[in-house]
Amino acid sequence: SLRQQGLLSTRSLYFVIAGLWRHGFNMLALLYQAAHLHATQNALCIGYQSQNADECVDWQTLYRDCLHCAAVLSMSSAWQTRQKVAVLCRNQKMSVVTLCTLTAGGMPVLVFNADMSTERLMARLHDYRPALILVDDDLQDKVATPAFNTLTASALKEAMEAIQSPGKLSRRMVGPVQVMTSSNSRIVERKINPLTILKPVSVLLETLSPHCHHSLYLAPPFYHGYGLTVMYLALCLRKQILLTPRFHAPTAARLIRHYQADMIVVVPAMLLQLLNEMPDNASLKSVLTGSAPLSLHLAMRTRQQWGELLYNLYSTAESGFALLATPEMLAQKPNSIGRPFPGVKVLLRKSSGEICATNEIGELWLETSWSARKDKCALFTGDLAYQDADGDIFLKGRADDMAVCGGEKVYPQDVCAVVLRYPEISQAAVIAIDDETFGQRVAIFAQSYDNKLDLHDMRLWLTKYLARYQMPARIVLMRHFPVNEAGKVNKEALLTQLAAMTEKDGWAIDENDLDFTQN
């Protein structure tokens, strides 16, 4: 697949070697190659919701900007002594420049979750203790404290413009790149071994190579391991990347059509919004989704509306790429996460540690040679899953999302799949809530196509398809769902709203149908 895309030609290899000799093993070496082979071709195009004109950057300019950025950052003590650097950014040009440049410094880099509360962010920063924080201008209020050495994107850009001729950098190998896995985040280090990481990447390229993608829209934020990995990979493969600082479906759809993107990388909630914006698939050849469960309803709708172009990739911050379901697999089993990449061992265990039988739900453990763990032992993903007789894996949701209702296990994902079959429902979320009588129950949050829904009729319909212990304690009609910047439904926000639901902020509530008791 690398040969098909011209990455192994004599000329291409020459500039890779020259780039490695000049910069060492980091992103600048590969940008050096792209700047010499495709100088005037677009590397990035960023679409802004509030602006008419897009910001496009060619490969030569991107490489030059990285050199100027390195010239500025190399004067800092963090670069000179390879101390920790923190990054707080959105998906835009200066973020790409910064994240590529930092790989040439060889220092540990942590990309912080821009969706975190200020209080939680400050707590994480005090734990991490970075020598330098690079932050977007619109996020600087979150780190407005003299306790840290902070450099805003605008100040960095101004310093870069003052550099006339950047000096030569010493060759360094990329240091560990770290991400925050969620808003209540733990820090997960992803120190990549180039030889072992080639295994899943080569399989992914081999699977997608028949389409020879030239341009892709990348929706997940860079602080998300999924978004950061794909950004680096796309730049390595010299693909034009389309970005929006925040996901906005109309802007994303316009970019996809205008620049004839043939691939998009999204999470399921973003995919749903794009389906609503784009009745046809435009020029798309592949849709790569992941990072959250893909519902049966969404998989089937994507296939019906856009054709057989959906791939479901399962990965975690600790394990990286792990499983993949191709369009052919999803045509037969739309809610599968597929089969493991070569080099990935899947273990499904009971809480007692015993191995699960076929079709038995258990904890999903992964063992890979490119794991973030130093001991390379199997790691628990936090997900529940089962494996069918063909070897395909199916997610059943997060282990900590499962409810135990009167002693019976209830998987919110199963309930949600049923809710989405209700003809009037366009989107739904199901979460576990405490219940004095049964210990736990589930609450259903549903959005209809016309923002009108007879909750009593819906409950009667649900009794035909749900077991008694699966029936919801509450059903709430939503006008819109709160989502975080990664495009996932914000369940903490749902719980907060549920606790104060009589205020009706953004909610349509039928007071007679809020609380249902078992009959």
pLDDT tens digits, residue range 150-180?
Answer: 999 999 999 999 998 898 888 898 888 888 7
Return all residues near 327 (Cβ < 8 A) that are at least 6 apart: 303, 308, 309, 310, 311
Please, are residues 228 and 179 in contact by the beta-carbon 8 Å criterion? yes
Instruction: Give me the architecture of the 10-191 domain, per CATH.
Output: 3-Layer(aba) Sandwich (3.40)
Please, are residues 432 and 404 in contact by the beta-carbon 8 Å criterion? no
Instruction: Give me the architecture of the 195-398 domain, per CATH.
Output: 3-Layer(aba) Sandwich (3.40)
Q: If we measure between CA atoms, which residue out of 361, 455, 479 comes closest to residue 414?
A: 361
Q: Please report, for residues 33, 119, 149, 221, 264, the alpha-carbon distance to residue 115 in angstroms, rounded to integers and kept in the order given.
A: 35, 12, 21, 10, 22
Q: What is the pLDDT of residue 258?
A: 94
447/479 Cα distance (integer angstroms): 6
Query: How many contiguous H segments (helices) and E segments (strands) does the chain have?
Result: 16, 25
224/247 Cα distance (integer angstroms): 13
Q: Please report, for residues 112, 140, 151, 152, 319, the alpha-carbon distance to residue 76 in angstroms, rounded to integers and kept in the order given.
A: 20, 19, 11, 14, 33
Phi, psi of 88, rounded to the nearest 5 degrees: -130, 105
Low-confidence ranges of the chain (pLDDT < 50): 183-185, 188-196, 210, 502-519
Give start-end residues of each CATH 3.40.50.12780 domain in the chain.
Answer: 10-191, 195-398
Return all residues near 248 (Cβ < 8 A) that are at least 6 apart: 49
Q: Please report, for residues 24, 25, 30, 83, 299, the alpha-carbon distance to residue 173 in angstroms, rounded to integers and kept in the order given.
A: 6, 5, 13, 14, 41
Task: Find the DSSP H helices in 373-431.
Answer: 412-419
Please, are residues 263 and 310 in contact by the beta-carbon 8 Å criterion? no
pLDDT digits (tens, 9 = 90+) for 143-152: 877 788 999 9
Q: What is the pLDDT of residue 510?
A: 38
Return all residues near 224 (Cβ < 8 A) that are at least 6 apart: 179, 291, 486
309/303 Cα distance (integer angstroms): 7
Please, are residues 98 and 156 in contact by the beta-carbon 8 Å criterion? yes
263/200 Cα distance (integer angstroms): 19
273 sits in the region (left: phi over 0; alpha: psi -120 to 50; else beta) called alpha
Please, are residues 239 and 215 in contact by the beta-carbon 8 Å criterion? yes
Beta strands in 369-415 (DSSP E): 379-387, 393-398, 403-405, 408-410
Please compute, for residue 34, the number of CA atoms within 13 A of its CA located in the half-sphere on the CB side. Answer: 26
49-81 burial, b for 16+ CB within 10 Å, e for fewer?
A: eeeeebebbbbbbbbbbbbbbbbbbbebebbee
Please, are residues 88 and 114 in contact by the beta-carbon 8 Å criterion? yes
Q: Does domain 402-513 have CATH number 2.40.10.10?
A: no
308/235 Cα distance (integer angstroms): 26
Helix (H, G, I), strand (E, B) or coil at 357: coil
